[in-house]
Structure 1
Amino acid sequence: MTFTVSVGTDSVECRPDQPILDALLRGSVWMPNSCNQGTCGTCKLRVVSGSVDHGRSPENTLSPAEREQGFALACQATPCSDTVVERLDASPAGDVHALRDVVGTVSAIEDVARDTRRVLVTLDSPLEFSAGQYVELRVPGTGHGRQYSMANTPGESKQLEFHIRRQPGGAATDGWVFSSMSVGERVDMVGPLGDFRLDPEDEGPMILLGGGTGLAPLKSITRQALTKEPDRAVHLYHGVRGEADLYDVDLLREWERAHPGFRYVPCLSDEAWSGRSGYVTDAFVEDFDTCRGHSGYLCGPPAMVDAGIKAFKRRRMAPRRIFREKFTPAG
Structure 2
Amino acid sequence: MGKLYCIGEALIDFIALQKGEQLKHVSTFEKVPGGAPANVAVAVAKYGGKSSLITKLGNDAFGDFLIDTLKHNDVEVDKILRTNEANTGLAFVSVKEDGERDFAFYRNPSADLLLTDHDIQSDWFSTGDILHFGSVDLVESPMKYAHGKAIEAVKSRGGIISFDPNIRLPLWNSPAACRDTVLAFLPLAHIVKVSDEELEFITGISDVTEAIQSLFVGDVQAVLYTQGAKGAELYTKEGRYKSSGFKVTVADTTGAGDAFMGGFLYKLLEKDVQVTNLVQLLNVHHKEILEFSNASGALTASVKGAIPAIPAKKHILTFLSTR
Please give the TM-score of this superposition, normalised by the length of structure 2.
Answer: 0.32
Higher strand proportion (structure 1 or 2):
1
Larger Rg: 1
Larger RCO, structures 1/2 (Cα 8 Å, 6+ apart): 2
Please give the TM-score of this superposition, normalised by the length of structure 1.
Answer: 0.31
